[in-house]
Amino acid sequence: MANIQKRPNGKWRARYRDPNGKEHSRHFDRKVDAQRWLDEVTASVLTGQYVDPKSAKRPFKEYAEQWRSSQPHRPSTARAVEQHLRCHAYPAWDGRTLGGIKPGDIQSWITGLTTTHGLAASTARTVFNTVNAVFTAAVRDRMISNNPCTGAKLPTVPRKRIVPLTVPQVRNLAGQIAPPYKGLVLLTAATGLRPGEVFGLQRRHLDLSQAALTVDQQVQQTKHGVFVGPPKTDRSYRVVPLPKMAADAMKAHLKVFPAPGPQDWLFTAPQGGAVAYNEFMKRVWRPACRKAGIPDGIGPHALRHHYASLLIKHGESVKTVSERLGHTNAAMTLNIYTHLWPDSEERTRAAIDKAYTDSPDDGNTPPPEET
């Protein structure tokens, strides 16, 4: 029900009831303005786009915390989201409401993440994605009508060309690392698993008779400890072919560091149990890299890049490389490794030259029309 009435003071009052039966009203100097407002509200109700004006007055932080607590995030993602909001969003919009944050505020905030707070462009984009997710949920919940993040210009991330480790470098690293982890280096280099996936390997995942390795879990480390969870994405569940080099390395590893039970870890921390990333980096990986002459800043993920580079070098398709790595799609694989695929310029020239060599001009081809 909606109506417009003229008040004793000459103002025009427009009233309507929302889908929950609650009455709302506004006063206007002109009847035409009251009617226009009422028409807009009525249309939003009929199309299911109605937003209670009072919803937009809810504090951003209050809504964001409710949103955060209801998300089915993995522990590592939940930790990152909490940090993004606590360190970068809440200080910027302390006391601000959902509806009070405008596109211009978002743009200034994004720019400030890099220029004022010194975040890398990639980190600023990740923080923005968290805030954008909050506002997207607020629109979906009919708290606000529009997402102020829409159309925001994000900082450009400089494209870094991956320079894979060479085979001699990997062999040298395997020779310098602590003995319990020599097999880890060779296995990772031969299968391209993510560090957490390697740490999550148990004896049941290794099938030496079929020369295959199954990935169905990973080990992650948070401030609350080390835990075992599912792989990064649905596409990360996979069976990876096990090259002879890796199979031989694992046979040698299991002779010295046996894992007799199906639930026993293939690689363990010094005190037992699953390997924790931070301690592994500090006590095992970095000292081994220094001995092997591998530059600082190179992490275990470099072995994954090494694996991808070998597949590409030996002619594997984008689809195959993507499947072996457990990427979400082939586009992601191309985005990371496109510069490693062989240049096709010569093949392009040869294809055209061959076509014209095989079909010589017989003199009857009419000249092109002038334009």
The one-letter amino acid code at 264 reads D
| Positive or negative torsion for Cα 21, 27, 28, 32 | positive
Which H or E run includes 75?
helix 75-84
pLDDT tens, position by position, 305-355: 999 999 998 989 999 999 999 998 998 898 888 888 776 566 777 777 788
Taking 90 as the threshold, does the pLDDT of residue 106 lie above it? yes
Distances (CA, A) of 295 to 176, 287, 300: 14, 11, 12
pLDDT tens, position by position, 221-242: 876 778 899 998 899 999 999 9
- Say which range, 95-99, 103-107, 290-294, 341-345, has the weakest mean pLDDT: 341-345
- Compute the average pLDDT of residues 165-185: 97
Give the model's pLDDT for residue 4. Answer: 83
Q: Which two tokens stand for residue 314?
A: 């030996």
pTM assigned to the model: 0.70
Q: 15 by DSSP, 3-state: which?
A: strand
C-alpha–C-alpha distance, residues 245 and 187, integer Å: 8
- Compute the average pLDDT of residues 4-9: 86
* Confidence bin at 90 (pLDDT 50/70/90): very high
Taking 80 as the threshold, does the pLDDT of residue 196 lie above it? yes
Give the model's pLDDT for residue 25. Answer: 82
Going by their DSSP bridges, the two strands 212-215 and 206-207 should be labelled as: antiparallel
Angle, helices 182-191/244-256, rounded to nearest 10 degrees: 160
- Compute the average pLDDT of residues 24-48: 78
Taking 80 as the threshold, does the pLDDT of residue 159 lie above it? no
C-alpha–C-alpha distance, residues 104 and 264, integer Å: 55
The one-letter amino acid code at 132 reads N
Supply angle C-alpha 187, 189, 195, rounded to 5: 75
CA 204 to chain centre: 29
- Compute the average pLDDT of residues 84-92: 96
* Confidence bin at 364 (pLDDT 50/70/90): low
Taking 90 as the threshold, does the pLDDT of residue 356 lie above it? no
Instruction: Return the closest-CA partner of residue 16 out of 32, 30, 37.
Output: 37
Taking 80 as the threshold, does the pLDDT of residue 360 lie above it? no
Instruction: Return the closest-CA partner of residue 249 out of 159, 153, 174.
Output: 174
pLDDT tens, position by position, 250-263: 999 999 999 999 99
Helix, strand, coil proportions of the chain in percent (round to 5)? 50, 10, 40
C-alpha–C-alpha distance, residues 217 and 201, integer Å: 8
Distances (CA, A) of 59 to 63, 97, 143: 6, 4, 11
Q: 311 by DSSP, 3-state: which?
A: helix
Taking 70 as the threshold, does the pLDDT of residue 104 lie above it? yes
* Confidence bin at 371 (pLDDT 50/70/90): very low
C-alpha–C-alpha distance, residues 344 and 46, integer Å: 56
* Confidence bin at 220 (pLDDT 50/70/90): confident
